[in-house]
Chains A and B, each alone.
Chain A
């Protein structure tokens, strides 16, 4: 009886807090750029060859090279690299609760860049950034961060605003829903449901273009907030990149990846368009990371336990 009552109170207050959160998010969404063409035709595209089958080539970036330009000089003069990361994407960029340090697959990549540019993988300042702020922070002057390694998918819309490195991971959209919902498909998992997606994430963009029958959409600052909202009964399902969807399922055994993956895309390192020297440099680091076994080692450390064989995720 007492448990049930506490549960009800929890749910009620969660709703209240959620409303407050959504209110703030709505204001943010107002400033979000318009979404590209409707998602319906894109859903039909499932083949790997069709990755980035939009009006642009999401797999293309500047050729790799170590050229010291204005940006590299600026970073070397400063003495450390500032990287925008996540602290709550399990195994990608997250805070170890024992040591308090941020670690994960994306962090390994950030350190590899710092090691290449500055000769020391520890000369890196990790700044957590909200999903919604990623593009804005790269465009701001003065730029508060040099680059973003934060499970960021390459989209045509973003390519108009910022630059990306060559792809370093292949992902698609996945639905996370409670196992108890027994959803057999994406349409079943999202239809008539309260769907959660991180504000201004690619999943949020997809939901705006094609709601998949969702009754409502909540957009907290961070994809992991969606898991909190689902656990507190404030959302029924979450749409996310497969990378982060796997991270959510790994943290809550009552959740599952529901339905089929769709909308395959690449993940890349986000940078300012003008920092051509840094973009080329990062592409050089990525090439070495791939050929030198660094990518594989990081995958084995962080992602293999949850995602299995890396085959489907390699962008090359």
Chain B
């Protein structure tokens, strides 16, 4: 077959004809500024129906963009508000509670050691409750903390350190029961471990959780500027085009575009109103819950540390001035006038109504504690160790410094519960409102896209 067509035949076109099919291709580039499909589009856009199509596309794109951004920003803030209410705020509280439990366990173990054989069972139980609280909070926080590697690392450290601390204290107790001073040495070791390793770790965990809470709060309370700006632009563009159409066609109303404008306006108002509502709720959550709780946590931690210093000072029997110094520093900040960080007086100023009564009560007990401590310190100064011990902590007596500290602590705890309730009430509905707002923005934007398409389609139909 190939031999019969030596000069080319059907399979091999003659050399001179090769460019011919290329000439018929539309992609004969570039013969002018607007050639090709783009050129055709531009040429078509100059015709009245073309202009209509272009305007419609621009409007639809603007409305779609607004809807997407508004829905996305609202959903984002709803998620942040949900995290705030269900995760970061409870985690922050848990971290504070964890710190208190650990510090209290340390003070209680030391107190039990001081009371020797007179240690009441309640004190033993309190120590065990503290450890159980810590042991419950650590895995709970780890399950909630999600992806925060910093918090997870701290929690992993704490879950390793807690059984070690408990082991040291139990060793101290067992040896102590045999009447050997080695028990006291173990207790000292355990307390140093708690003070220098475990508690700083718990403090950093609390700091991490507090920072996460602030982050969630800021994300939830952020004003959706992009959505608001896009909404306003979409609304302005729709209005402007309706004016243009009116001038061109003398028809006052375009029902489709009018409906689209109404939908965009509704979505815009909803987004703006929802932002204000959520902001109010969040602001209340902050002023009634987050801020007073934070101030309260700080005071409770400082009071706990002061109490621990008070007890350890007795355990050390004057071997070091360090605990006295620590007490003085903490008492100074606790008794500072309202406004100072960690001041007891500042608590009632920041507290919402229901917690106020408890805080006022707690403050009186706090002052009573300070008075009793001062009395005990006077006895210590005079060299009366037994008297100092009796004034500071004695099983079954309610006129000791420890009894007053416990009374203040209980009232602070109740005040904290009231503030937590206030926080939950204020922050609880915020995420729901923002979720509805996100869905509404999406639906209204879809409606507006439909309206725009219909309005432009009606005008286009007049050219057929």
Q: Which of B116, B161, B189, B316 contacts A97 (CB 8 A)?
A: B116
* Residues 122 to 161 of chain A near chain B (Cβ within 8 Å): 125-130, 133, 144
What's the Cα separation between A82 and B181 when bound, in Å?
Answer: 22
The residues of B that contact A224 with a CB separation of less than 8 Å are: 181-182, 184-185
A246 at interface by CB-CB < 8 Å: no
A170–B193 Cα gap in the complex (Å)?
A: 37
Please tell me which one of the listed residues B160, B175, B389 contacts residue A13 in the complex, with CB atoms under 8 A apart.
Answer: B160
Contact between B177 and A97, CB atoms less than 8 A apart: yes
Collect the chain B residues with CB atoms within 8 Å of residue A228's CB. 182, 185-186, 189
- B461, CB-defined interface residue at 8 Å: no
Known A97-B117, A100-B116, A128-B316: A87·B383 in contact at CB below 8 Å: no
Asked whether A273 is an interface residue with its Cβ less than 8 Å from the other chain, the reply is no
- Taking a contact as CB atoms closer than 8 A, the residue among B114, B180, B185, B196 that contacts A222 in the complex is B185
B272-316 contacts to A, CB under 8 A, are: 316
Give A100 Cβ to nearest chain B Cβ, in Å: 4
Determine the chain B residues whose CB is within 8 A of the CB of A13 once the complex forms. 160-161, 164, 193, 197
Known: A17-B192, A17-B196, A17-B197. A87 touches B117 (CB 8 A): no
Q: Are B189 and A99 in contact (CB under 8 A)?
A: no
B172 CB, nearest partner CB in chain A, Å: 9
What is the CB-to-nearest-CB distance from A50 to chain B, in angstroms, rounded to a whole number? 33
Q: Mark A152-188, 1 if CB is under 8 A from B, else 0.
A: 0000000000000000000000000000000000000
| Total CB contacts across the A-B interface at under 8 A | 101
Interface hits, A1-45 → B, CB 8 Å:
6, 9-10, 13, 16-17, 20-21
How many B residues touch A, CB cutoff 8 Å? 37
Q: Are B161 and A20 touching (Cβ within 8 A)? A: no
| Interfacial chain A residues near B118, Cβ < 8 Å | 100
* Dominant secondary structure at the B interface: helix
Is residue B337 contacting chain A, with contact meaning CB distance below 8 A? no
Give B168-187 as 1s and 0s: 1 = Cβ < 8 Å from A's Cβ atoms. Answer: 10000001111111111110
Are the C-beta atoms of B117 and A99 separated by less than 8 Å? yes
Say if the beta carbon of B167 comes within 8 Å of chain A: yes
What residues of chain A lie closer than 8 Å to B197, measured between beta carbons? Answer: 13, 16-17, 20
Of A88-96, A208-216, A260-268, the stretch lying at the interface with chain B is A88-96
> Which of B117, B167, B317 makes the CB contact (< 8 A) with A98?
B117
- A42 to nearest B CB, angstroms? 30
Q: Please tell me if B188 contacts chain A, counting CB pairs below 8 Å.
A: yes
Cα–Cα, bound, A9→B181 (Å): 25
Are B114 and A100 within 8 A (Cβ)? yes
Residues of B within 8 A of A9 (CB): 160, 163-164
Once the chains bind, are A225 and B188 in contact (CB under 8 Å)? yes
B271 → chain A closest CB, angstroms: 53
A202 CA to B318 CA, complexed, in Å:
23
Tell me the chain A residues, 216-265 only, with Cβ under 8 Å from chain B. 222, 224-225, 227-228, 232, 251-252
Which residues in A have their C-beta under 8 angstroms from that of B117? 97-99
Question: In chain B between 104 and 161, which residues have their CB closer than 8 angstroms to a CB of chain A?
Answer: 114-118, 160-161
Q: When chains A and B are docked, how far (Å) is the Cα of A9 from the Cα of B197?
A: 14
From A82, A99, A144, A251, contact of B180 by CB (8 A): A251
Residues of B within 8 A of A125 (CB): 383, 385
B318, closest chain A residue (CB): A127
B1 CB–A CB distance under 8 Å: no
Tell yes or no: A313 within 8 A of B by CB.
no
* Chain B residue with Cβ nearest A130: B319
Q: When chains A and B are docked, how far (Å) is the Cα of A21 from the Cα of B195?
A: 12
User: How many angstroms from the CA of A130 to the CA of B177 in the assembled complex?
Assistant: 24
Minimum CB–CB distance from B215 to chain A (whole Å) comes to 31
Contact of A17 with B184 in the complex, beta carbons under 8 Å: no
- Residue B320 is within 8 A (CB to CB) of chain A in the complex: yes
Residues in A whose Cβ lies below 8 Å from that of B185 = 88, 222, 224-225, 227-228
Report if A88-B161 is in contact (Cβ < 8 Å); known contacts: A16-B197, A126-B317, A126-B385. Answer: no
Q: Can you list 7 A-B pairs, Cβ within 8 angstroms, ordered by A?
A: A6-B164, A88-B184, A97-B178, A98-B116, A100-B114, A100-B116, A127-B318
By a beta-carbon cutoff of 8 Å, the part of chain B in contact with chain A is 114-118, 160-161, 163-164, 167-168, 175-186, 188-189, 192-193, 196-197, 316-320, 383, 385, 389
